[in-house]
Amino acid sequence: MSSRISEARKVVYRNDHHALLSKLLLKAEKSPDSLERMLAVTRLVLTFISQIVKPGKRSQDIPTVVLGEHYLSHREMGEELHRGDHTRSYLQELCAYDPVEAPIRPRTYYDEGHSEVATCTVRVIPRACAKLRREGILLGGTGQSYIEIAMEGQGKIRYPRHDEEYEFELPSVILNDPLAGTCTIDLDGVVEIDCQATGLRTELKFKPWRGEYVKGEVKSLLGSGMQTVAHIEGHWDADVSVHSVTGDATGVVFSTSEDPPQLQIPPMINLADPGPQTIRRLWVSILESILYCEQQNMTGSSAKKLNEVVTSISSLLRKSLMYEVPENPQGRSAVPVSGKRDEPGSHLATTLDNRPIPPVCKIQRGMGRFLTYQLFYSVQTISFQALEHEKSILPTNSRVPQQSS
């Protein structure tokens, strides 16, 4: 970073997952051609997916089910200069039941001297369903139970300078043998990354119970039909490689080799005591969805086994709920059915659900709402003049020494 910018504003650099994703977002924008940008976006999506299943490092990253949370912050990226200007990523994370809750667009994001070079938005609603592995059923047993958490929703990445927008989905998260002391985490499903402006599409197929395997292709949808331009293959807990058809884009597109040992994936998670998670607010939504876990249609002993998972899960998650059911000899919650009688559906909150779940969660579910996770990044360049202006209006005690965490 230049000395002029250092003198203009002393900043805090945090090397967390938000900083990493913001840097990958910027690196993709700086890629010179459309195929390289698609591969850079693929690296970004794979990184975000891997962070879903990575444990966290801090005690404050332990997920607990909440009614709602809105986190606003920023990450300085001074070393990532973009055409000579200082770079900063503004970020927001939301976890809320309110269906109209969305990232806000503060005026300060677009002050004079600020220029937006990339944005990323993610909005997902986790939906949990208890299932049995087919292999076990075919072998004559009832099969091993697992919970599949489908990530309903999508993400969007936008690059104004290139006039490109990339849309992507997320794979399902698999929790094997959820009632055990610990269960392994796996991924399942097809992830598509589409860019209509370039006609390129990446397809990634995640296959559970096969050694964290992922395989895919980059296809071109322009010209004479659909053509494969690159092949992708590897293991999402280690290295994923890309091999272009022409040979000019070959190498490792994603790697976890630099991760510290405590963050190696795939992790084991104890649902009764989940511990810190890298993307804590997303796990808050995941745990809440598990409370309202659906059940795969089964009969006989298989149905009985799945029913045991569904009925036992709320007690298993009591530490994440941070809630104890008030004593009531009649077996109902001692808390009133609803705080506001005029809200449609809120009267169903506790009358039909006597499980040890906070009444506020029951009320929101009774109203047909889901705990939704949202993420927003706005990567911007900031001129030296704008940084000087910040220095003039910020209190002295807000300019803190450089540090990393």
Q: What pLDDT is attached to residue 202?
A: 97
Residue 17's H or E segment, with its range, is helix 17-29
Across 101-106, average pLDDT: 79
Provide the sign of the torsion angle of the four alpha carbons 382, 71, 266, 240, taken in this order.
Answer: negative
More confident residue, 66 or 190: 190
Residue 369's H or E segment, with its range, is none
Q: How far apart are CA 392 and CA 51, in angstroms?
A: 38
Q: What pLDDT is attached to residue 339?
A: 37
On whether the pTM is more than 0.75, the answer is yes
Amino acid at the residue 54 = K
Packing angle, helices 34-52 and 17-29, rounded to 10 = 170
Residue 342 has pLDDT above 50, yes or no: no
- Cβ atoms 362, 353 nearer than 8 A: yes
CA dihedral 32, 34, 39, 42 (to 10 degrees): 120
More confident residue, 395 or 73: 73
Closest CA to 361 of 287, 250, 260: 287
In eight-state DSSP terms, residue 222 is: S
120 φ, ψ (degrees, to nearest 5): -140, 130
13-22, 48-57, 73-82, 310-319: which is most confident: 48-57
Q: How far apart are CA 236 and CA 9, in angstroms?
A: 39
Q: What pLDDT is attached to residue 298?
A: 76
State pLDDT tens for residues 244-279.
888 777 889 999 876 766 566 557 888 988 889 999
Task: Find residue 76's DSSP bridge partners.
Answer: 88
More confident residue, 149 or 400: 149
What proportion of the chain, given as a percentage, has pLDDT over 90?
42
Please give the angle made by the CA atoms of 214, 218 and 222, to the nearest 5 degrees: 155
Both structure tokens of 138: 């075919």
More confident residue, 67 or 296: 296
Q: What pLDDT is attached to residue 14?
A: 67
Q: What pLDDT is attached to residue 77?
A: 83
Q: What pLDDT is attached to residue 25?
A: 95
